Amino acid sequence: MTGALDGLRVLDLTWVLAGPYASMILADLGAEVVKVERPPHGDLARTTGPFVENESIYFQSINRGKRSIGLDLRNPAGKDLFLRLVEQADVVMENFTAGTMDRLGLGYDVLRARNSRIVYAATSGFGQTGPLKDRPALDIVVQGMGGVMSITGHADGPPARPGLSLGDIAAGLYTAIGVLAALQERQGSGEGQMLDLSMLDSQIAILENAVARYFATGVEPERIGTRHPSATPFQAFPTSDGWLVLALTWGVDNQWELYCAAIDRVDLINDARFDTSYKRTQNHADLEPLLFEAMRQRTTDEWIEMLSPYGMVVGPLNTISQAVSQEQIRHREMVAEVDHPVAGRLRLSDSPLRLSRTPGRAGGPGPAYGQDTRAVLAEWLGLDAAAIDGLVAEGAVETEGGPDIAAYLES
């Protein structure tokens, strides 16, 4: 089965997380994604645990289905080789600090001169312009600067980092969207363009109603735990054996009344403090203890069985192991199994892009460093073994290697 992006060629200079996550989306959709890795160790993610047979599972989780070439962009022959590869590519992706590629003599203007149809995606902490453009960034920094951590956690606790790298993942998603948009535009114009994607910008974008709410009211959004700032009840509740997530939806008749009856608190129905969602939100401090006490009287499954027939949006608050074991997730085949030549069979989250004819799918394990150097140079540029051997001798390319994880773990 071919993918939606079958035939698309991507030169992927990205490393660690935001960029590789974006290029993995393209690979899942069928693009040929070639990781261009710097000798002698390649992507720093290869040294991030946990490890199975000295293979990084972190690296595998965001680099599945890609190819790898070892290419030294600081070597004149390596630089020339990269430009030749650009002539055959559709997309170039990088997530270096702004200006890095220009200093290498490989910025967008140079690449566009070699291939006017190239789509160039530059993902960075703060973008290619502005007073912070030269500053490096990591996920937790942009989450902090973007305001996300200020509204994450409980009111009586410190700011919290969400349990995933939201700064990187959001930037990766927007990068993939931007690349696809540029490719679509190219269909008409015949010209490529540059995508300038900032991790910090992406954090502001995903704050959606928190930003709008602040500008509309002038009130600083605060940490409120699992609950919603505008609707109540809409949060996680303790049950007798765990936690349950419940959300009474807007515009559905009698949900509050039905819920009160279900939890045996009909006295709350006509309580003037709680008779609208707005009032319940304003008086949440009075209401929450009453609901917590009621919800502790039954198990999570019992509540789901009781409340679901009333059309209430309800579900268990799962651990990761419970989440990936759900029948719905198994039915949707959201856990991929890929065979790695060293680490064996790996289980990874799969693509959620269920296109009816060309669905996104994990295309195999992440590559070993430099494993595809010879094949890519032969297929893209027509180089024979002797020519590639010469490039290896010059130090322009590498065909194998990577970090010595055993030594790294012992150091």
Locate tokens 């070699």: which residue? 114
What 3-state class would DSSP assign to 171? helix
HSE-CB for 128 with a 13 A CA cutoff:
16
**Do 363 and 375 touch, CB atoms closer than 8 A?**
no
Q: Catalytic one among 43, 90, 168, 350?
A: 168
Residue type, 63: N
Query: What Å distances lie between residue 410 and 54, 267, 347, 403, 405, CA to CA?
Result: 12, 64, 27, 13, 9
Query: Is 28 one of the annotated active-site residues of the chain?
Result: no
DSSP class per residue in 89-146: -SEEEE-PSTTHHHHTT-SHHHHHHH-TT-EEEEEESS-SSSTTTTS---HHHHHHHT
- The burial of 176, by beta-carbon neighbours within 10 Å (0-12 exposed, 13-18 middle, 19 or more buried), is given as buried
Which of 14, 350, 335 is CA-nearest to residue 168? Answer: 14
Backbone angles phi, psi at 271, to 5 degrees: -70, 120
Closest to 196 in 3D by CA, of 101, 104, 89, 79:
101
**Do 376 and 67 form a contact (C-beta atoms < 8 A)?**
yes
Catalytic residues: 168
